[in-house]
Amino acid sequence: MNSNNYLLTGESFTIDKKVEDSQKILSNEEINKKYRKGEIRIITEQARYPLDTIATMLDSGKYELNPGYQRRRRWGNEKKSRLIESFIMNVPIPPIFLYEVDYSFYEVMDGLQRLTAIYDFYTNVFKLEGLEYWKELNGIKYHDLPKEVRRGVDRRYLSSIVLLQETAKSDEEAEFLKQTVFERLNSGGALLTPQETRNALHNGKFNQFCIKLGRNEYFRKMWDLPLESEKDELLQDERYRKMEDVELVLRFFAYRHIKELSGMTIERFLDEYLKQANNYPEDTFQQLETLFNNTVEVIYKIFDNTAFLLPQVGKRQYAKPTKTIYDGIMQAFAINIGNKDTFIKKADAIKQNLYINPKLDVPIKRTDRYIFNSRNITPRDIQKRIDFYHDFLQDYIS
């Protein structure tokens, strides 16, 4: 079975796997000329903000906290509290980085966690907790701090470095510079996950498309992810903060081109696919959205939240969804999505019989489960899983 026989018009994806050294060798004089010309020369200025002005500053509407290349919020209340404790102790805090998108309007390139922690503190969103040197203040909000401590915090400053608008000569150059600087700034701190890096460096139409589709409620329920309406739970969910939901959506579309995975890592495969998919035509986006939504709907209506669990072996049952099952079953149902209504009508039989050996009428044995081993991630292994589900579904097509 060829899993690529259902690709859409405009949904092209090919990778040149030849490794070529395209670096141009320049003479010293040419290098000096390039430097004098200032092809990549960042213009900055510095500023300092009193902490007690930051809440008002962020409420002004002049600061974009979540530009496309930013990561999602990661800090819990304890880490926020430790930042406040650092201000109490007057520990030096690294500057935040802003990009001036228009005169006096800024994007936060680096420092989102620090800014939102300070904002939440001054708006009494959380109580201090987990303090090491000022344990006496645990359980206290900003407005309830002793007067002198509160005034001492108020006189602290947060420094900033602002990349001025005149740094970039065009919108395209501005996006390149912002994303590149963001990646460089974060390379020495909390490491970006592969998807956060993609979000920073390749944040085009398809990346935003995957973020949008990741909000699908059927999809989130099958992965046991908090819904978008559950804000508190979202911020506590490590998978959400690391953008794992977005990567799962990206995997679904990329694995429609599974033949291109051969000879490369999954990370590079997803990188290359995203870069090319950002240029898909609009009608292809619309068709892919319909395909994804229909696929997760039919799978959820058949399997509910057990869809992506490994098959039971003997008495051993699995409770967490896995990519091993997700990749294969999503592709198989997408290939056969024209039979969606038929599958839903036969949902009980499909769910009951999926992991039954049809020849022996018994559950799949441990020795038959090699294709579901999570260590088997070659294109051939993934294709075997797609074929397993695809072949099974043929018995339920009228």
Together in a domain, 112 and 258: no
- The answer to whether 163 and 100 have CB atoms below 8 angstroms apart is yes
Together in a domain, 247 and 135: no
Helix, strand, coil percentages for the chain (3-state, nearest 5): 55, 10, 35
Together in a domain, 274 and 129: no
What pLDDT is recorded for position 166?
A: 62
Phi, psi of 288 (to 5 degrees): -70, -35
Does residue 8 lie in a domain region?
no
Of 163, 193, 225, the position where a domain reaches its end is 163
What pLDDT is recorded for position 224?
A: 93
Together in a domain, 243 and 391: yes
What pLDDT is recorded for position 108?
A: 85
Together in a domain, 380 and 289: yes
Total domain count, the chain: 2
Does residue 155 lie in a domain region?
yes
Of 135, 163, 191, the position where a domain reaches its end is 163
* pLDDT tens per residue, range 53-76: 999 999 999 988 876 655 666 788
Does residue 223 lie in a domain region?
no
Together in a domain, 374 and 275: yes
Residues 6+ apart with CB under 8 A from 361: none
Q: Give the closest residue to 45 by CA, choosing from 164, 188, 206.
A: 164
Size of the chain in residues: 398
Does residue 332 lie in a domain region?
yes
Together in a domain, 386 and 306: yes
Together in a domain, 267 and 379: yes
Does residue 283 lie in a domain region?
yes
How confident is the model over 25-50, as a mean pLDDT?
70
Does residue 349 lie in a domain region?
yes
- The answer to whether 372 and 385 have CB atoms below 8 angstroms apart is yes
Cα 266 to Cα 132, 251, 261, distances in angstroms: 41, 9, 7
Does residue 76 lie in a domain region?
yes
Phi, psi of 163 (to 5 degrees): -85, 115
| Pairing mode of beta strands 356-357, 362-363 | antiparallel
Together in a domain, 241 and 352: yes
| Pairing mode of beta strands 105-110, 63-64 | parallel
Does residue 171 lie in a domain region?
no
Domain that holds residue 279: 235-396
Res. 3 pLDDT band, cuts 50 70 90: very low
Together in a domain, 248 and 139: no
25 has a pLDDT exceeding 70: no
* pLDDT tens per residue, range 233-253: 776 788 888 889 999 999 999
What pLDDT is recorded for position 322?
A: 93
Together in a domain, 250 and 383: yes
Of 163, 184, 208, the position where a domain reaches its end is 163
Together in a domain, 258 and 379: yes
* pLDDT tens per residue, range 290-349: 999 999 999 999 999 999 998 876 667 788 999 999 999 999 999 999 999 999 999 999
pTM for the full model? 0.64
Helix axes 77-88, 147-154, angle to 10 degrees: 90
* pLDDT tens per residue, range 64-109: 887 665 566 678 899 999 999 999 999 989 898 888 888 888 888 8
